[in-house]
Structure 1
Amino acid sequence: MPTFTAPDGTTLAYHVRGDGAPLICLPGGPMQDSTYLGDLGGLPAHRRLIMLDPRGTGHSAKPQDPATYRCDRMIGDVEALRHHLGLDRVDLLAHCAGASMAMSYATSHPARVAKLALITPSTKAVAIEPTGQARLRLARLRAHEPWFPTAFAALEAIVAGEVTAERVKAIDPFFYGRWDEETEVYQAAHDEHRNDEAAAQYTAEGAFDPEATRAALASFGAPVLVLAGEVDLNTPPSVAAELAGLFPDAEFVVQPGAGHFPWRDDSAWFVPTIATFLD
């Protein structure tokens, strides 16, 4: 397992898949290791994936100071990985909460980013949040699904502020374009690969400065791809479109029928879309 050293001395690990030009991949969660990304639907046929296990997850060591799990304090980890790989500029792909780290890195080291692909990205770093009613409208598109009545009732309660662990679990199907036995197994494995202590710190006070980030993104010159899933309850297409509008050179695409993990829903659509953007 290849490793490198973060600025604070923490040993971090990454996984390599495929050949060709490197593509650094930042997982979401927040603070899950890169296992759930798999091979991103077959993307190693086009690029060499450098899949980071964030500090305290997977094969990466836990830091001495848990405060370094905060998103903005991990920017140095990405820069250390770039330096370790001997790259002058990097292509970055980030999923979900990993997009917050990617955008923070891009605004801090804009000259080091060649291309930036944000996949069903979290938008917390720029203070864009979907309303509960927007999520309910999107969820109603799934009314024909057999699991819908139970999941929708749980979602309505959550939107009303009645959040329980059982209800959060019940809405899992809304995050996938298809919900079957294989997907249930995939979802169940998530908890085994997330550092809950680190996740709690990731968005701690001070992690984001939305006004400064928006200003920096407005002058970010590298090409950006923002990919939304058509039925993604976490980052609805309207929210992802608003994020794309913050960049001067962004391509916004919506993957038909996809949820929050689009490479699983239709790899034949996802992979060529990403590969074409990165070419």
Structure 2
Amino acid sequence: MPAFTTFDGTELAYHPDGEGTPLVCLPGGAMRASTYLGDLGGLPAGRRLVRLDLRGTGDSAIPADEATYRVDHQVADVEALRLHLGLERLDLLAHSAGGNLALLYAAAHPERVGRMALITPTARAVDLPVSAEQKLTAARLRAGVALYDRAIEAYERILAGVDTDEVWDLAAPLFYGRWDETARAHHAANPHEQNEKAATVFAHPDAFDPPATRAALRRVAAPVLVLAGELDGNPPPAHAARLAELFPHGLIDVQPGASHFPWLDDPAWFAARVERFLAAGV
């Protein structure tokens, strides 16, 4: 497995797939091994995916100082990967919580970003929180079907503070556009792929300075796509649009019928949309 040594001596692994211009992929979770991204709906047909296993996840080593799981420290890992790959600029794709890492990287190194696709990103780095009621509003779009009524009830419990595997399993159908065999297997793999200890450190409040990050993102000359799922509540499309507005060349698109993992919901639509953006910036 290809690997490189980052700023503090930690060895990080990455997974290349396909041919063409590299697309560095930052996973969410937070702190979930990059294997859950799969081939992102078939993107290797036109790109060389480079899925990074964040420190302490997947095939990457556990750092000596576990405080470096904090997302702002991991910006240096992305820059170390760029240098290792010998790239002047990075094309970046980030999913969910990984969007915060991409935002902080772009703010710190705006001149090193080629194109950036943020897929159903959370955006604590720029202080765009989603309220519990906004999440439930999205979930209730599916009310009236027994499967989703049970999931909505479970999600209400989660947002009220209940945090058990059982209740998350009941709510899981809300995070996918289709609750089919692929989605069920994808959800079931999560406990084996996520570093939960690292996840508690990742988004520590001290990692973020939203006013400074917002100001720095105005210097990002690269085109930025923020892709939301029509049925996703974290973020809902309106929040994704607000994030896109922070960039000089940001744009928003919404994948019909998709939730938080849009490449699973309609792989062909997702891959075609992202590849079109990467090729032409539109």
Structure 2 partner of 1:114: 114
Root-mean-square deviation over aligned CA pairs: 1.2
Q: Is the 8 A contact 2:119 2:228 kept in 1?
A: yes
Q: Specify the alignment match of 1:93 in structure 2.
A: 93
The unaligned stretches of length 5 or more in structure 2 are none
Taking the aligned partners of 2:83 and 2:210, their CA distance within structure 1 comes to 27
Q: 1:174-197 deviations in whole A, cap 9, x for unaligned?
A: 110011233112101011011111
Aligned twin of 2:4: 4
* Structure 1 Cα separation of the partners of residues 144 and 41 of structure 2: 27
Normalised to the residue count of structure 2, the TM-score between the two structures is: 0.95
Query: Is residue 245 of structure 1 aligned with residue 245 of structure 2?
Result: yes
SS at match of 1:235: coil
What does the per-residue CA deviation read over 1:223-266, in whole Å, with 9 as the maximum and x for residues that have no partner?
10000000012211111111111111111000000010000000
- Correspondence list, 1:129-278, <5 A: 129-159=129-159, 161-165=160-164, 166-278=166-278
Task: Report the alpha carbon displacement of residue 125 of structure 1 after superposing the two structures with TM.
Answer: 0.9
Write the distance in 2 (CA, Å) between the matches of 1:19 and 1:33: 22
- Secondary structure of 1:147's counterpart equals helix
Q: Deviations over 1:127-156 (max 9, x none)?
A: 111222222221121124331221112223
Which residue of structure 2 lines up, in the alignment, with residue 51 of structure 1?
51
* In structure 2, C-alpha distance between the alignment counterparts of 1:16 and 1:135, rounded to whole Å: 34
Unaligned runs of 5+ in 1: none
Identity level (%): 55
Do 1:175 and 1:234's aligned partners in 2 also have CA atoms closer than 8 Å? no
Does the CA contact (< 8 Å) of 2:113 and 2:220 recur in 1?
A: no
1:10–1:62 CA contact under 8 A, matched in 2: yes
**CA distance, structure 1, for counterparts of residue 274 and residue 60 of structure 2:** 27
Deviations 1:37-69 (A, max 9, x none): 000010000100011000111111110000000
Q: Distance in 2 between matches of 1:182 and 1:270?
A: 16
Q: What residue in structure 2 maps to residue 42 of structure 1? A: 42
Give me the TM-score of the superposition, normalised by structure 1. 0.96
Give how far 1:205 is off. 3.1
| Aligned-pair CA distance for 1:164 | 3.1
**Which range moved further: 80-89 or 197-206?**
197-206
CA 1:62 to 1:162, structure 2 compared with 1: closer, same or farther past 3 Å? Answer: closer
Aligned-partner Cα distance in 2 for 1:95–1:232: 13
* Whole-angstrom CA distance in 2 between matches of 1:182 and 1:51: 20
Question: Which portions of structure 1, spanning 4 or more consecutive aligned residues, are displaced by more than 4 angstroms?
Answer: none
CA contact (8 A) 1:118 1:227 kept: yes
